[in-house]
Structure 1
Amino acid sequence: MMLQRQAVPVLGVDATPLDVAGLTGVLNRFVADGTTRTVVGHNLHSVTLFHSEPEFRKFYEDSDVVLIDGAPVLWLWGRGKNHSVPVMDYRLGSTDWIPALGEVGGLERIAVLGAGPVANARAVAKLQSIVPGATVSGMPGDGWNEDIEEAAAAWLAEQRPQLVLVGLGMPLQEEVLRRRLDSLPPAVYCAVGGAIEQIAGIQKLAPRWLGRLGLEWAWRLLLHPRRVAYRVLGEPWVLLGLLVRRRLQRRTAAAGEGSSRTSGP
């Protein structure tokens, strides 16, 4: 099943604009289907990696669902025309849709991969309360290396979950899924970043009114200045440079094609 994507103006990426109910419906079909699927999200960090890392770009292009996870991405998407779904009033982050997993029919086995032992255990307990009929298992991801990756692959093969929340941070979680996806058991693999710590209650969520104003970056910068300073204050300029270069390259290519047609026989 191919889900239609829509272009996000200026950023040069495509996304699957879904709200919580829409994504829940998609997950219902994915779980019933029983095949391997991937769910990712676009924010400015992922857009920067999309335009600078070819393998990251291919992973996103091949993913089944690319959510709009980031206020700037949502704003720019809203500039487009002829949307097949209503313009959303808020981006769809992992902590928005994870609490709705109880609405996914037939979801009996969930795996939580990532974060530290305490956060992972608390997230497992929280998910158990969200989906009472499911078996929820967890494996921390602290100090990720080749040995842990091998152990995680073996653990997933043993658990055979239907849905996996992979919270190793971007771009590590995407790199792991790209390397391992073909050999992992069939499931819906969701790249959720820091949502494991947030669901566990260890990392505080920004108030929704800040999110609607597009000021979550200020909240994160206040709570975790060392962790997010570059992404909030530096990376947007890197992205701007990448987008300008992309536009210039497209103009040059178009001019070259026009010159070839003019000088042709």
Structure 2
Amino acid sequence: MTLERQSVPFLDVDATPLTVSQLTAVLGTFVAEGGTRFVVGHNLHSVTLLHSEPTFRSFYANADVVLIDGAPVLWLWAKTGEEDDGRAPVMDYRLGSTDWIPALGNVQGLERIAVIGAGSVANAGAVAKLQQIVPGARVDGMPGEGWNCDVEETAVEWLSRLRPQLVLLGLGMPLQEQVLARRLAALPPAVYCTVGGAIEQIAGVQKLAPRWIGRLGLEWAWRLMLHPQRVAYRVFGEPWVLLGLLLRRRLPQLRRQP
């Protein structure tokens, strides 16, 4: 199954804009087909990494689905469409992990889920929550704290024994993407979804922003209020880094213009 990529102006990236119902249908198709698939998301942090790290860029280029997570990415993508082109409301295409994980019960044929990441309490909480979301499915968890080469090897062996259909990998960006890229040959077939800090949020360990705040594109402010030391650089510093990277990409093009 091949999904159409769409360009996001100015940011020089592309994405696979989907609504929640469209994504669950796609996941159902992936589960039925078997094989290895990757579902990732784009926000300004991932765009910055894509333009600064070739390995990260290559991983995203080969991902099967690139959801739109961050509001700035969504707003820029929305500029590419006409109001009467049949799209759903623009905000319906903003899919952070906590927007679509609660809908996993609608994925046809989903019977085995693995959750990797976060501390032991949060991981266990997310496993319990997913058992409620997908009744009848087997959900197994493995904490991701203290991640190193030995833990990574153990995780690969654990997945190989379980043979899950869907893996939620929440190690933070870019570690989770790096793990998938370097372990590709050893991983069992499954749909691998990078979910960042969503494991803690689904478990209720980290307070989730009200959905109306997310739909206004102000979730960054919520996170800044709750975790200022963790989020401040991404909010106030990283956009300037990204701007510099984008300008550097455009300078050679501008110099070639008559």
Q: TM-score, normalised by structure 1?
A: 0.93
Identity score, percent: 73
Segments ≥4 residues shifted beyond 2 Å = 81-88, 249-252
Cα-to-partner distance string for 1:17-66 (whole Å, 9 max, x where unaligned): 00000000100100000110000000000000010000000000000000
The equivalent of 2:9 in structure 1 is 9
- Quick one: which amino acid aligns to residue 197 of structure 1? E
Counterpart CA distance in 1 for 2:252 and 2:174 is 26
Aligned-pair CA distance for 1:210: 1.8
Unmatched runs of 5 consecutive residues or more in structure 1:
259-265
Counterpart CA distance in 1 for 2:12 and 2:128 is 39
Cα pair distance change 1:49/1:84, threshold 3 Å: farther
- Quick one: which amino acid aligns to residue 52 of structure 1? S
Counterpart CA distance in 2 for 1:85 and 1:162 is 30
Cα-to-partner distance string for 1:153-187 (whole Å, 9 max, x where unaligned): 00000110000000000000000000012210000
Counterpart CA distance in 1 for 2:38 and 2:97 is 13
Higher Cα Rg, which structure: 1
SS at match of 1:137: strand
The equivalent of 2:187 in structure 1 is 184
Counterpart CA distance in 2 for 1:189 and 1:134 is 17
The equivalent of 2:164 in structure 1 is 161
The equivalent of 1:57 in structure 2 is 57
Of 214, 220, 224, which aligns to 2:223?
Answer: 220
SS at match of 1:183: coil
SS at match of 2:185: helix
Q: How does 1:19-98 map to 2 (within 5 A)?
A: 19-81=19-81, 85-90=87-92, 91-98=94-101
Of 110, 115, 121, which aligns to 1:112?
Answer: 115
Counterpart CA distance in 2 for 1:48 and 1:87 is 27
Unmatched runs of 5 consecutive residues or more in structure 2:
none
Aligned-pair CA distance for 1:85: 3.6
Aligned-pair CA distance for 1:84: 6.7
Counterpart CA distance in 2 for 1:42 and 1:158 is 31
- Quick one: which amino acid aligns to residue 46 of structure 1? S
Aligned-pair CA distance for 1:87: 4.7
Counterpart CA distance in 2 for 1:85 and 1:55 is 33
Q: How many residues in Structure 1 have an aligned counterpart in Structure 2? A: 255
The equivalent of 1:262 in structure 2 is none
SS at match of 2:116: strand
Q: TM-score, normalised by structure 2?
A: 0.96
Cα-to-partner distance string for 1:93-121 (whole Å, 9 max, x where unaligned): 10010011111111110000000000000
Q: How does 1:205-216 map to 2 (within 5 A)?
A: 205-216=208-219
